[in-house]
């Protein structure tokens, strides 16, 4: 697997674009994007588990049921959630507009939205701009970049990847983008991710590989299964690489699934680092747990603890808060067998051993925790289960951003 450029346009046969159509009325930043494949794509998707689902999610769930997509149309600046029948009509209309532009069926278009909840959706500006959007498509890095910019809201960093692997001797590419940056409860902010590949993959295995990759990446960006009204991740596989179809769980599948998982982890880590107001990426790795599920539960409690996050911001080696978070995680473990280490490019120290304070230099701890990439390593001493979760620190700016989001 090697990194290449191009994002969602790296795989053959995909074009993308993004424009400003007027939904972000004041900022005039790009707010409407499109990803398109001339050849119909085997597709799979995962959506929010929130009971309140955006109109775009409801429409896309129907369209994805068919298993084939040509395009994804996406807007930022308005979530089109809690907008009733008018919202559903607008989401349906977005799919129609994209379908008409490329002479495909509306059911072959997925729709995604991100932005403020509860504001009527201004479908007229999308209608007005669909021609310009279609004309903006490009099959290279610049098309990818324009589409990526069109999905960003409070994001301050680009989240993207593209890699090349070999399937049956043929080069196969996978590319992706994501947006999302609301990280105390990460999934309360919308997470969108779109992934393209020129691999040929059966619907069943495409969905299976996506589900597994998401479980080990986006679902491990702090805290729990809470999801916003709009969360969606969609993958499109058009087979344009000419590589053999992946239709069984063989070596080809393993190579594809591993690359997809690595790509999703790249996007998920970038989301954690871009947590609203965050200054640090905090990686929490639990090992020695009874099993992977237990390790994940313990790691999520630590990465999701506001007190741990605030201590990371202050570079304060307050490991007691870590023990406390482990203690309320709901997972079985023996505090007296627990070891906690802090690691960063500046060094590594054990701060807690056997559930009690280890002798360590506060000065060294401060230096380690002052780095931008911090790892909290926790050994439960009880088995071989391990899991890694990504979070960020909690800062003044988180409050600033969220205290006045709408204006």
Candidates 13-21, 88-96, 186-194, 251-259 — which segment interacts with a copy of itself by CB under 8 A? 186-194
Binding-residue pattern over the window 253 to 292 for a copy of itself, x denoting contact by CB under 8 A: ----------------------------------------
- Least separation in angstroms between residue 232's CB and a copy of itself is 15
Per CB under 8 A, 25 contacts a copy of itself? no
- Least separation in angstroms between residue 39's CB and a copy of itself is 37
Q: According to CB under 8 A, which residues from 213 to 242 bind a copy of itself?
A: 225-229
Per CB under 8 A, 169 contacts a copy of itself? no
Q: Is 156 a catalytic residue?
A: no
First and final CA of the chain: distance in angstroms?
A: 43
Per CB under 8 A, 363 contacts a copy of itself? no
Per CB under 8 A, 4 contacts a copy of itself? no
Report d(CA 61, CA 206) in Å as an integer: 16
Token duo for residue 170: 């043929």
Q: Nearest CA to 380 among 279, 288, 300?
A: 288
Report d(CA 273, CA 68) in Å as an integer: 33
Per CB under 8 A, 310 contacts a copy of itself? yes
Report d(CA 234, CA 72) in Å as an integer: 9
Where residue 76 falls (left for φ over 0; alpha for ψ -120 to 50; beta otherwise) is: beta
Close Cβ partners of 363 (under 8 Å, ≥ 6 residues apart): none
SS3 string, 111-124, reads: EEEECCCCCCCCHH
Catalytic residue among 48, 114, 190, 395: 190
Q: According to CB under 8 A, which residues from 63 to 122 bind a copy of itself?
A: 79, 81-84, 116-120
Report d(CA 239, CA 219) in Å as an integer: 28
Q: How many CA atoms lie within 13 A of 166 on its CB side?
A: 4
- Least separation in angstroms between residue 219's CB and a copy of itself is 14
Using CB under 8 A, count the residues that bind a copy of itself.
Answer: 66
Binding-residue pattern over the window 319 to 338 for a copy of itself, x denoting contact by CB under 8 A: xxx-xxxxxx---xx-xx--
> Residue 215: is it exposed, middle or buried by C-beta count within 10 angstroms (0-12/13-18/19+)?
middle
Per CB under 8 A, 305 contacts a copy of itself? yes
The DSSP 8-state label assigned to residue 124 in this structure reads H
Whether the CB-CB separation of 256 and 216 falls below 8 Å is answered with no
Among 69, 111, 184, 236, binds a copy of itself (CB under 8 A): 184
Catalytic residues: 190
Q: Which residues would be at the binding site for a copy of itself (CB under 8 A)?
A: 49-53, 79, 81-84, 116-120, 182, 184-185, 187-189, 225-229, 305-307, 310-311, 313-314, 316, 318-321, 323-328, 332-333, 335-336, 352, 354-357, 394-396, 398-407
């Amino acid at each position: 697997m090697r990194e290449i450029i191009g994002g969602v346009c790296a795989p053959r046969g995909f074009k993308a674009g993004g424009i400003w159509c007027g939904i972000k009325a004041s900022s005039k930043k790009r707010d409407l994007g499109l990803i398109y494949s001339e050849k119909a794509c085997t597709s799979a998707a995962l959506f929010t588990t929130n009971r309140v689902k955006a109109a775009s999610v409801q429409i896309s769930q129907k369209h994805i049921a068919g298993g084939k997509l040509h395009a994804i149309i996406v807007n930022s600046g308005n979530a089109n959630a809690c907008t009733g029948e008018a919202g559903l009509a607008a989401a349906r209309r977005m799919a129609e507009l994209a379908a008409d532009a490329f002479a495909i069926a509306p059911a072959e278009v997925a729709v995604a939205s991100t932005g403020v909840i509860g504001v009527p959706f201004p479908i007229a500006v999308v209608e007005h701009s669909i021609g310009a959007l279609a004309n903006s498509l490009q099959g290279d890095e610049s098309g990818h970049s324009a589409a990526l910019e069109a999905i960003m809201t409070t994001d301050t960093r680009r989240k993207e990847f593209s890699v090349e692997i070999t399937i049956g001797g043929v080069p196969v590419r996978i590319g992706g983008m994501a947006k999302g940056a609301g990280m105390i409860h990460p999934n309360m902010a919308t997470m969108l991710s779109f992934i393209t590949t020129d691999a040929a993959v059966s619907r069943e295995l495409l969905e299976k590989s996506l589900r597994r990759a998401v479980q080990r990446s986006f679902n491990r960006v702090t805290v729990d299964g809470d999801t916003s009204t709009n969360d969606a991740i969609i993958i499109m596989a058009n087979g344009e690489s000419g590589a053999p179809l992946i239709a069984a769980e063989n070596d080809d599948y393993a190579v594809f699934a591993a690359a997809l998982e690595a790509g999703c982890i790249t996007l998920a880590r970038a989301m954690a680092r871009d947590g609203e107001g965050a200054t640090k990426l905090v990686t929490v790795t639990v090992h020695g747990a009874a099993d992977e599920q237990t390790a994940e539960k313990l790691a999520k409690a630590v990465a999701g603890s506001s007190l741990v996050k605030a201590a990371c911001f202050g570079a304060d080696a307050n490991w007691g808060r870590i023990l406390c978070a482990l203690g309320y995680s709901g997972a079985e473990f023996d505090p007296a067998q627990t070891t906690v280490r802090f690691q960063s490019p500046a060094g590594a120290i054990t701060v807690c051993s056997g559930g009690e304070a280890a002798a360590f230099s506060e000065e060294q701890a401060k230096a380690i925790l002052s780095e931008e990439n911090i790892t909290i390593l926790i050994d439960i001493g009880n088995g071989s289960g391990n899991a890694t979760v990504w979070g960020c620190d909690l800062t003044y700016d988180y409050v600033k951003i969220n205290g006045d989001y709408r204006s």
